[in-house]
Structures are given as structure tokens and as C-alpha cells.
Amino acid sequence: MKTVHPASQGIGASLRLAAWALAVTCLWLSGPAVTLGQDPARVAQGQPAFVAGDGASISAQSEWVDEEDPARFQGVAESEVPVRYDLRQPKLVHVEKRGSRIPLYYFRDVRWQQTERPAGRAVGRRAHFTTVVIDLEKVKAAYLCFTPFAPTWAAGHAAIEIEFDRGGFRTLDGRESAGLVWSYEARLRCTQSYAIIPSLYKKVPIIYIVGTFDDFKFRCNVLNTSPLRRWKLEVAPGRLSEMAQEMGKAVLADHGKETYNAVSNSCITATLRVLTRFLPAGENTREDFLFGLIQNPRWVVPVLIDDLLKAKGLIKSPEQVFEPASPGVGQ
């Protein structure tokens, strides 16, 4: 039996205590904890960041934007009035190459969700913008989305949804959405609202909005109390990622001189310019006639967009309808 002298026990305990204290001091001096996928340098500066698979450091945006009170800008020059809180043009911040595979695309200013105004308040809506990563190898399906507005027998807004398998459309902090919505809109200031007739002569710039399907549905059903109609598009699986790439190219193109026009440059024409590239073999449709002097009515009247795509074989499935929620329901 081995005998341990009490003095040795005391020395051993003291050494263990000193080692523990030294370890704690080193951890404290090393700065805040760094989780997988984060850039230690940025975390140390209090700036959340993400490290892509190729080692690139990407700033992780997470920004809530508040609705402005239009009354605050009475008498202010239009050029000084801020753009509406929910309108942001997405920006490509990184392309992660993967050899022969389709790259991963990182975008900021993607609208992830919105909230309604608190009860009894005239302003107070909010929109959340974030950085996302998009994997086009996980595109699953594509849809035409349409929501009517007054006069509902003719008018409405069209957009395209791309549906992803798990992991195809996600934020840098791990949140996922199955659907990405691509929407061509008028870049309105907080004192403006969209109207068909003024759009024909007012020079309002355009903007592309990219957001989640849940965000788009919330805007239609809750904020606008309008139904949302959706049709699956008959696009060959091998061409779905190509369609998504065409949508991305449109977002990134220079639109500095482009203005919104309900007849010649609208959400309908922008949507059809993408979708008609993917019509079944042998099908085609013209946007205008006589060298652009006459617009094709099916490219002008919003409620005819699904009829046109059905006639050309791009829509064969029945529509899905998402009915409006009760006013005031929040997300």
C-alpha cells in the first residue's frame, strides 16, 4: 500500500488550482466564443460573420426596417423622401465555386419576413432583411404566383416562385425556406402608392424584390387582404436551375434607366420575359406587333397571364388558392 504524505497532497491541489486558473485566464483573453462557420476576427469585433466553404468571410446581415410615417415628409422634395421600408434590391456578395458543380450564391437584402402594424396604429409595419445562400442544385419546382388588386377583373401582381429541397435556400444562421419569390416592382417612396394610370407617365424606377414564399403570402393575405393564386409550371427538371439563373441575371443587371409602366414594363412583362424562354418545344408568343407599336393584350392585362401560359402548355396543373387572413393578424 502506497502512502501519500499530506504535504504532497497540498502541493498537488495547489498545482491543479493554478492550472485551472491559468486555463480560465487564457479563455478570457482569447475573446468571445466562436461557433462553427463564423469568422473569429469579425466575432472579436462584435460583427457576426460566416465562413463559406471556400474560406471567404461573409458578413451576416440581420436587419429589421421600420415603416416610415408619410406625414413626416410633407413638403419634402421627393428625392429626399426614403424608399418604402419593404423595398430592397438584393446584392450578390459572394460566389462559392465548387469545381464542375453549380456554384453557391450568397445574396444580402433578401426579405425574409414582415410584421403587421400594432392594433390601432397607422404605421408600425416592419420588414426583415438578411443574407442567404442559394444552392441551385436543389431547385425542386417553379410556380407562377398571382394576387389581384382593384379593379380585380383586370389588375393584379405576378411573381415567380422557385421551390427548393431542404438546404437549397437558407440564411447564414441556419433558417430555411422552401420557396424563393422573385418580384418585379415599382421602387416607390414612403409617400407614394402604386396606381395604374400614373405608372403610364410618371418616371418611377423599378426594383427586383427577392424574398421567401411565406413573406410573399403574408404580404398578399394579411397586409393586402388579397387571395394568392399559384400554378405549378411545366418545366423540365433539367431546366429548373437554368430558370433560376435567368432570374438571378435579371436581378443583377443594370436597371438604372428603367422605369415601371403598367403596359410596356410591368410585373407581367418581366415575368413573361423569363417564363416564355421555357415554353415547350414548338410554342412561342410575341410581346408586341408592328415593330413594337401594338402590345399583345395577353402581355398587358394581368388577369390573362395564366390563360396565356395554359394555352402555351407551361401550366397544366390546377391552381392553388391561399385565401386572405383576418386583418391585423401578425406573423
What does each of the 331 residues of the chain score in pLDDT, given as a tens digit?
444 444 444 444 444 444 444 343 333 333 333 333 444 444 444 456 899 999 999 999 999 999 999 999 999 999 999 999 999 999 999 999 999 999 999 999 999 999 999 999 999 999 999 999 999 999 999 999 999 999 999 999 999 999 999 999 999 999 999 999 999 999 999 999 887 777 767 889 999 999 999 999 999 999 999 999 999 999 999 999 999 999 999 999 999 999 999 999 999 999 999 999 999 998 989 877 766 667 888 899 999 999 999 999 999 999 999 999 754 443 3
Q: Tell me how many helices (H) and strands (E) the chain has.
A: 7, 15
Cell numbers at residue 27, please?
479563455
Angle at 144 between CA 326 and CA 230, to 5 degrees: 35
Where in the sequence is the domain holding 82, given as residue range(s)?
61-322
pLDDT at 86: 98
With respect to residue 173, please indicate whether it lies within any of the assigned structural domains. Answer: yes
With respect to residue 18, please indicate whether it lies within any of the assigned structural domains. Answer: no
With respect to residue 50, please indicate whether it lies within any of the assigned structural domains. Answer: no
With respect to residue 101, please indicate whether it lies within any of the assigned structural domains. Answer: yes
pLDDT at 69: 96
Q: Which residues contact 184 (CB under 8 A, 6 or more apart)?
A: 159, 206, 207, 208, 250, 266, 267, 270, 271
Count of structural domains within the chain: 1
With respect to residue 17, please indicate whether it lies within any of the assigned structural domains. Answer: no
pLDDT at 132: 98
With respect to residue 37, please indicate whether it lies within any of the assigned structural domains. Answer: no
